[in-house]
Amino acid sequence: MKTRWIVFIVLAGVAIACKDKDAEKKIAALEARLSQLEGGKSQSPTFTPTEQAAQPEQKPEGPLPVITFEKTEHDFGTINEGQKVTYTYKFKNTGEAPLIIQSAQPSCGCTVPEWSKDPIPVGGEGFVKAEFDSNGKPNIQNKTITVTANTWPKTTTLRFKAMVTPKDQATGPKK
């Protein structure tokens, strides 16, 4: 009985910490398996996700901003390992309300984004700048920056790629 409560407490902690659908499914499967192993007894409460968590987000009503990027993909081409390169993604607010970028999350610590912090008025322009540090990142690199704003949908994914020549090849043969 103690084991069952310990497992339940651990599972509840995981459920509270994760709050995603995959974790909820895994927890439900583990609870069902635990119940099966204990001979079909079901004395402890089972975790059931809330209805709110299962529903997808809905588009807000009223006028919304629209973020329209000139381009969402960039190719740095071939660069040498250790080089830092930057690219600025430019956009325009083509919607009907001021645009606010809440965050720009890179897919890797090797990328540092900067973005327009002030609200962008209707018709106004802004930017998301990506700085990629190729140190320790040899060969083909494909990275993303997820931009979250008060738009619908809330996120836009920016992509860039580079072919990073490894340090030993970039410096040439040693003499």
- pLDDT tens for 48-78 read 555 455 577 888 889 999 999 999 999 999 9
CB atoms within 10 A of CB 4: 16
Position 4 scores a pLDDT of 57
**Structure pTM?**
0.66
**Cβ-contact 65, 116 below 8 angstroms:** no
What is the residue-averaged pLDDT of the chain? 83
Is residue 172 pLDDT above 80, yes or no?
no
Position 56 scores a pLDDT of 78
Listed by start position, the domains of the chain span 2-49, 67-170
**Cβ-contact 145, 101 below 8 angstroms:** no
* Lowest-confidence region among 4-8, 12-16, 82-86, 161-165: 12-16
Distance CA 165, CA 20 (A): 39
Distance CA 159, CA 76 (A): 11
Provide the token pair at 30: 């583990």
CATH code for the part of the protein at 67-170 = 2.60.40.10
**Half-sphere exposure (Cβ direction) of 27: Cα atoms closer than 13 Å:** 23
Distance CA 74, CA 127 (A): 14
| Amino acid type, 72 | T
Burial label for 129, CB within 10 Å (0-12, 13-18, 19+), is middle
Helix (H, G, I), strand (E, B) or coil at 3: helix
